[in-house]
A and B are shown apart, each in its own frame.
Chain A
Amino acid sequence: MSEIKIPIGPQHPALKEPESFSLTLEGERIIDAEVKLGYNHRGIEKACESRNYIQDIYLIERICGICSHSHSTCFVQAVEEIAGVEISARAQFIRTIVAELERIHSHLLWLGVAGHEVGFDTLFMYAWRDREAVLDILALISGNRVNYGINTLGGVRRDIDKEQSRKILEIIKQLTERTEYYIKVATNEPTFSGRLSGVGKLSTEKAKELGAVGPTARASSIERDVRRDDPYGAYAQIPFKVITDNHADVLGRTIVRVFELLESYKMLKYLVQNMPEGALTVKVPRRIPAGEAISRYEAPRGEDIHYVRANGTEMPERVKVRAPTLANLAAIREMLRGGFLADFPIVIAAIDPCFSCTDRAIQLVKDNGAETVDWRQLRDYSIDWHKKRGIDLSRI
């Protein structure tokens, strides 16, 4: 049979985020895959060099719409290390609570997408309904569903009060029950595990060799987790297990993420119940002394690395970001080779590549009540805006 080369992406219905792939097929089999990265490259590293450290926190938070807190925490940790600043235990706990909430919403989002990609849309709807509860908690704590703006140099910008803690515990209880139910359903449903097992194989040796990270690596029996290996935030104090699995396929990646959800619920419970008292921030000078530091963070998708070089001014000399998806993309080719074209969407989705989920408005209420925009007003504004330009969308 002759070979055929087909391009997929950057904009393609089978992809949940824009990236360009080129697949070589022989019949239905993928014999080779090539990834062309860079479609989403925005030059953030360069932009960081011409902004001050505080501005950079907000810029870096916008690298990713889902693991925004991961990037900003990773960055501030590096800057705080250079400045020699020790933040309070309470601030560490608040950072870690937001981090685990972020992991839960990210893993639930992933679970939904995985369900959708294999035609199990009920799972998609259930998982995303549950994710809403987590996003509501995040909005309650930070005022935002994504890009929480919790971090600042020297600590956090918002406290978590008793009422919010109570709500977190309430939601965790609900989510634990539901997640356990999904595990039961997924393991007793032969079509689901049958669809996922053996798809997108990545052997332990290959995963190691290609530097895979996060749940992708842990599903290939590699026991690595920055939270345990290089603890930051409050992780040195909280008991948790590193979840691994030996399936080395999409099923394994699903198992790892689902059991990580259960671990995160336990961690959150511990964090909320043992939160120490203390100041939210400590003072950090505007000019960061010359120096360098490298910081690591276990984002929902894996190890995130930030390197910061300071030159004694208000702006960094160099900021380097290595997001987890980049580390996992080297392994994508390996996972796709020999598989079926029909498996392409779920194999890509299984490394949980980052895509933005920011296009949703919430009700914004300023402290002084000066401005409130709800969903309906925003919609009306948009219809009006288009009408003025000759497009009538009011009947849609």
Chain B
Amino acid sequence: MANEEIIKSLEAKLAGAVYNIISPRERRIFAETTVQKLVEVTRLLKEWGMINVGAVTGMDGGDKFEVMYHFNDARGLLLNLKVFIPREDPKVPSVVSIFPGAFLYEYELMDLLGIKVEGTPPGRRYPLPDSWPEGQYPLRKDWKGLATETEVKIDE
């Protein structure tokens, strides 16, 4: 399918739930949605032909955080869905009920950016150690490292 056709088919499927759809090159689509519609959009994308979440990227954009879900289909298309959330209350719903393989990427958001992922299955934290101090989120732009006297133990 040519790119325009893919975008048309996507717009038809999601009818207004996603916006700013752009395709910078073949097999790449970037789109945005709102955090309220994220789970519904993810479910529709699975129906539309996406087979898994390849990765989830979290970004610190100052007063807003940006979370980007990279969806794969079986033929090489990569759809990147963005949501923006406020820094004071960073929360996204979990998409694990739709794509069970995504839980590790959601753990990463929680550990490295301090974004709450509501409804993600419980499990050992990833990737930081269990004794990592509270409130330290390394991928936030204002994070400059732990104080030198902080003790972080290796996990058992």
Is this pair of chains taken from one and the same complex? yes
Interface residues of A (CB under 8 A from B): 7, 10, 20, 34-39, 41, 43, 45-46, 81, 208-212, 224, 226, 228-230, 292-294, 296, 303, 305, 307, 309, 317-318, 320, 322, 326-327, 329-331
Determine if B154 and A39 form an interchain contact, defined as CB atoms under 8 angstroms apart: yes
How far is the CB of B27 from the nearest CB of chain A, in Å? 5
Contact partners of B155 in chain A: CB under 8 A: 10, 20, 36, 38-39
How far is the CB of A104 from the nearest CB of chain B, in Å? 24
Determine if B78 and A307 form an interchain contact, defined as CB atoms under 8 angstroms apart: no
Interface residues of B (CB under 8 A from A): 24-25, 27-28, 30, 51-55, 57, 59, 68, 70, 74-76, 78, 80, 99-105, 123-129, 138-139, 143, 154-156
How far is the CB of A34 from the nearest CB of chain B, in Å? 6
Determine if B127 and A7 form an interchain contact, defined as CB atoms under 8 angstroms apart: no
Determine if A322 and B54 form an interchain contact, defined as CB atoms under 8 angstroms apart: yes
- In whole angstroms, how far apart are the Cα atoms of A224 and B101 in the complex? 17
How far is the CB of A45 from the nearest CB of chain B, in Å? 7
Which residue from A35, A210, A229 sits with its C-beta under 8 Å from B75? A229
Contact partners of A43 in chain B: CB under 8 A: 138
5 pairs of A and B residues whose beta carbons are closest in the complex: A211-B101, A229-B76, A38-B127, A322-B55, A211-B52
Determine if A329 and B104 form an interchain contact, defined as CB atoms under 8 angstroms apart: yes
Determine if A294 and B99 form an interchain contact, defined as CB atoms under 8 angstroms apart: no
Q: List 24 A-B contacts (CB under 8 A).
A: A7-B156, A36-B124, A36-B126, A37-B127, A38-B126, A38-B127, A38-B129, A39-B154, A46-B143, A208-B52, A209-B99, A210-B100, A211-B52, A211-B102, A292-B30, A294-B78, A305-B54, A305-B70, A307-B70, A318-B57, A322-B54, A322-B70, A322-B105, A326-B104
Which residue on chain A has the smallest CB distance to residue B101?
A211
Contact partners of B78 in chain A: CB under 8 A: 230, 294, 296
- In whole angstroms, how far apart are the Cα atoms of A126 and B120 in the complex? 46
How far is the CB of B146 from the nearest CB of chain A, in Å? 11
Which residue on chain B has the smallest CB distance to residue A331?
B101
Which residue from B27, B55, B80, B101 sits with its C-beta under 8 Å from A209? B101
Contact partners of A327 in chain B: CB under 8 A: 54, 101
How far is the CB of A360 from the nearest CB of chain B, in Å? 27
Determine if A41 and B156 form an interchain contact, defined as CB atoms under 8 angstroms apart: no
- In whole angstroms, how far apart are the Cα atoms of A67 and B123 in the complex? 29
- In whole angstroms, how far apart are the Cα atoms of A395 and B51 in the complex? 59
Contact partners of A230 in chain B: CB under 8 A: 27, 76, 78
Contact partners of B75 in chain A: CB under 8 A: 229
How far is the CB of A202 from the nearest CB of chain B, in Å? 12
- In whole angstroms, how far apart are the Cα atoms of A272 and B54 in the complex? 33
Other contacts beyond A307-B55, A327-B54: 5, CB < 8 A: A38-B127, A46-B138, A211-B52, A211-B99, A229-B74
Contact partners of A41 in chain B: CB under 8 A: 127-128
Known interface pairs A34-B124, A229-B76; A210-B101 also in contact (CB < 8 Å): yes
Determine if A294 and B80 form an interchain contact, defined as CB atoms under 8 angstroms apart: yes
Known interface pairs A38-B129, A294-B28; A209-B100 also in contact (CB < 8 Å): yes
Max chain A C-beta neighbours (<10 A), residue from B27, B78, B99: B78
Contact partners of B57 in chain A: CB under 8 A: 307, 318, 320
- In whole angstroms, how far apart are the Cα atoms of A81 and B24 in the complex? 10
How far is the CB of A84 from the nearest CB of chain B, in Å? 10
Contact partners of B102 in chain A: CB under 8 A: 211
Determine if B70 and A294 form an interchain contact, defined as CB atoms under 8 angstroms apart: yes
- In whole angstroms, how far apart are the Cα atoms of A81 and B76 in the complex? 17
Contact partners of A293 in chain B: CB under 8 A: 24
Contact partners of A45 in chain B: CB under 8 A: 139
Which residue from B70, B74, B126, B156 sits with its C-beta under 8 Å from A224? B74
- In whole angstroms, how far apart are the Cα atoms of A20 and B103 in the complex? 18
Which residue on chain B has the smallest CB distance to residue A42?
B127
Contact partners of A46 in chain B: CB under 8 A: 138-139, 143
Contact partners of A7 in chain B: CB under 8 A: 156
- In whole angstroms, how far apart are the Cα atoms of A45 and B109 in the complex? 13
Determine if B54 and A37 form an interchain contact, defined as CB atoms under 8 angstroms apart: no
Which residue on chain B has the smallest CB distance to residue A81?
B25
- In whole angstroms, how far apart are the Cα atoms of A327 and B108 in the complex? 13
- In whole angstroms, how far apart are the Cα atoms of A34 and B125 in the complex? 11
Which residue from B27, B53, B99, B104 sits with its C-beta under 8 Å from A37? B104
Which residue on chain B has the smallest CB distance to residue A329?
B104
- In whole angstroms, how far apart are the Cα atoms of A331 and B100 in the complex? 10
- In whole angstroms, how far apart are the Cα atoms of A256 and B70 in the complex? 27
Which residue from B25, B99, B103, B123 sits with its C-beta under 8 Å from A34? B123
How far is the CB of B112 from the nearest CB of chain A, in Å? 8
Which residue on chain B has the smallest CB distance to residue A217?
B52
- In whole angstroms, how far apart are the Cα atoms of A45 and B140 in the complex? 12
- In whole angstroms, how far apart are the Cα atoms of A159 and B133 in the complex? 49
